Amino acid sequence: MTNSSVTPLHKPSAPTPARKELGSFLRAHRERTSPEQVGLPSTGRRRTSGLRREEVATLAGVGVTWYTWIEQGRVSPSKQVLEALARTLQLNAASTRHLMGLAGLQADLPPESAHAEATRRLEPVLSALETTPAVLVDRRLDMTSWNPAYAALWGDPAAIEPRRRNLMWTLAASPQLKATLVDWDGFARTILAHFRAQTAVRMAEDRTREIYAALHEDAPDLADWWACHGVGEPASRATELALAGDVRVQLMTTALRPVEDPEALLLLHAPRRAADHAAVAAAVRAAARPFSQVG
């Protein structure tokens, strides 16, 4: 397919929030993709970072004007065009899914009520994990259920006002967690990538805007994070917490998706050694908090 073979079927219109977000996402990836990455020769100094719009359009086989309108949020691209752009910009699987989601080209999401069912079914699971901190978050990363081990080690979500009871907010704005979590930056950026993937397609929703408002208000030093367009899935990783009394707890963090609500996540922080299990048990006894749940 060549540029000349693609004729826009629709006239451009005023940008919508969803199309603007899609355009910003493409532009961010275009600007951090070098000519060498896509097999183009380097031409020395360039006025713009990354690829030019003309280069992306040529490689993807779409018209330059059409691609410009896409970045400006003035048109709704087809799945075929988005697939070509994803290949050109060498997007990974998570970023490609995100791109399609921004365009509304994804499977229907489960209703909000599905999360209540997931919470009900998982309550006995969380309660049984006596020395494994566990928290259930919904599609926006609001924390809706957790066990005493999580409250003892990561901070009790019940002590956070509902407007800010969000996993991303706790990582960005909780001084206690910043001081406790070894490699805070690496862990927080992993959650940030998932948070962006989950919320970018919901920017028009009141609760999503409320979360971002709280993040901008309480973590202004991380303003560039909230404008970031990187997305991803939270992979299993080693996590370490530094507790009082020079106690270090090593955990293996794993994210699982409940069948009842695949947009939600169950985060499990499993102790790696016998000493870590003992440290978690001691922290739970000291906190003496009952099982908590938000309906």
Task: Report residue 109: phi and psi, to 5°.
Answer: -80, 150
Res. 277: pLDDT tops 60:
yes
pLDDT at 291: 58
Res. 265: pLDDT tops 70:
yes
Integer angstrom CA distances of residue 226 from 38, 118, 157, 200: 28, 28, 22, 10
Number of helices (H), then strands (E), in the chain: 13, 7
Q: What is the mean pLDDT of the chain?
A: 88
pLDDT at 295: 47
Res. 192: pLDDT tops 50:
yes
pLDDT, tens only, 53-108: 999 999 999 999 999 999 999 999 998 899 999 999 998 877 888 888 888 886 56
pLDDT at 229: 78
Q: Beta-carbon neighbour count of residue 122 at 10 Å? A: 21
pLDDT at 11: 74
Do the Cβ atoms of 269 and 147 come closer than 8 Å?
no
pLDDT at 294: 58
pLDDT, tens only, 114-126: 898 889 999 999 9
Res. 131: pLDDT tops 90:
yes
Q: Beta-carbon neighbour count of residue 52 at 10 Å? A: 16
* CATH superfamily, region 3-102: lambda repressor-like DNA-binding domains (1.10.260.40)
d(CA 227, CA 258): 29
d(CA 21, CA 201): 8
Report percent pLDDT > 70 for the chain.
91
Res. 284: pLDDT tops 90:
yes
pLDDT at 248: 96
pLDDT at 7: 43
- Tokens of residue 137, six digits: 């978050």
Q: Which of 67-76, 93-102, 175-184, 270-279 has the lowest mean pLDDT?
A: 93-102
- Tokens of residue 169, six digits: 């907010």
d(CA 277, CA 295): 29
**Given strand 237-243, what is the order of strands in its sheet?**
181-182, 237-243, 247-256, 265-271, 134-137, 143-146, 292-293
Classified by CATH at the fold level, domain 113-293 comes out as: Beta-Lactamase (3.30.450)
pLDDT, tens only, 193-238: 999 988 987 888 999 999 999 999 999 999 999 888 788 888 899 9
What are the structural domain ranges in the chain? Answer: 3-102, 113-293
pTM: 0.70
pLDDT at 231: 83
Average pLDDT over residues 277-295: 79
Residue 10's pLDDT band (cuts 50, 70, 90)? low
Q: Which of 76-80, 135-139, 163-167, 277-281 has the lowest mean pLDDT?
A: 76-80
Q: Beta-carbon neighbour count of residue 134 at 10 Å? A: 23
Average pLDDT over residues 261-266: 91
d(CA 83, CA 91): 10
pLDDT at 5: 40
User: Pick the residue with more confidence: 166 or 102?
Assistant: 166
Do the Cβ atoms of 73 and 66 come closer than 8 Å?
no
